[in-house]
Amino acid sequence: MFNLLRLHKSRRQTLTVKECPDAVADIQRFIELLRSPMPIEVPLACREQFPYASEATCLTKFDDASGAPEPTESHRAGYGSACVYGKDCYLIHGVWSDEEVALLHITVLEAVTTLMSLPSFKRVTPLVTHVLEFTDNTGAEWSFRRETPHAPLLQMVTQRRVQYLRDSDLFSRIERVTSAGNSWADDLSRQRVSQVVAEAEALDLTVHFLQPCPMLRDPSYLRTAAQAMGSA
pLDDT at 43: 58
Flag whether pLDDT at 106 surpasses 70.
Answer: yes
Domains of the chain, CATH where assigned: 2-35 (no CATH), 58-231 (3.30.420.10)
83 and 209 in contact (C-beta within 8 Å)?
no
Q: What is the pLDDT of residues 204-226, one digit of tens each?
A: 999 999 998 877 777 777 877 77
Is pLDDT above 90 for 61?
yes
* Band of pLDDT at residue 124, cut at 50, 70 and 90: very high
pLDDT at 28: 84
Q: What is the DSSP string of 21-80?
A: THHHHHHHHHHHHHHSSSPP-TTS----PPPPTTSTTEEEEEEEE--SPPTT--PPPEEE
pLDDT at position 45, please?
A: 56
Q: What are the helix (H) ranges across the chain?
A: 2-6, 22-35, 98-103, 106-123, 138-146, 152-168, 183-189, 193-202, 214-217, 220-231
Inform me whether the pLDDT recorded for 169 exceeds 70. Answer: yes
